[in-house]
Amino acid sequence: MRNLEQVLAHAENHCENNGSRLTIKRKQVLTGLLISDKALSAYELIDFCKGEFGETLQPMSMYRILDFLNNQDLVHKLNLANKYVACEYINCNHEHLVSQFLICVECQSVKEINISKTVMTELQRNVLQVGFHLVRPQLEMNCICDACITSQA
């Protein structure tokens, strides 16, 4: 389990080092993603901010906040689920490898793992061979987690 205050302080420093600010609303949204045990949609985050902080955010504002957090590499957008998760490696200071997201189709839990450089090199080569250029090398896979498999048995 992550130390919430430590992670938020790290995120704040990260933003300052990149010439931007982690405003109160951005911090509230990031908090929602950090404490959640699953991926959340923009509307679920709007509900979280209203219930937890009494803050009413409009959908357009929420999407702008999520875009900011995504551009700062603090959160990831999961395109398959159209939801967001906090970066698993938000508290480290090294360059991140390419992420692969395992998304449970039953409970929506998400696990972020890194893809090895050799696998990414091969994927990049395959993409280029068919005349495409990789824009955002993020892989997402629909899966079923162990907990959901066990509960189905």
pLDDT in tens, 40-86: 999 999 999 999 999 999 999 999 999 999 999 999 999 888 999 99
Instruction: Find out whether 7 and 33 touch, Cβ atoms under 8 Å.
Output: no
pLDDT at residue 93 in the model: 64
DSSP assignment of 41-83, as one string?
Answer: -HHHHHHHHHHHH-----HHHHHHHHHHHHHTTSEEEETTTTE
Secondary element (H or E) of residue 29: helix 24-35
**Residue 40 belongs to what domain range?**
4-152
Which domain CATH number covers 81? 1.10.10.10
pLDDT digit string (tens) for 91-131? Answer: 776 566 788 999 998 998 999 998 888 998 999 999 999 99
pLDDT digit string (tens) for 29-49? Answer: 999 999 998 999 999 999 999
Report the domain count for the chain. Answer: 1
pLDDT tier, 1 (very low <50, low <70, confident <90, very high otherwise): very low
* Model confidence, pTM: 0.84
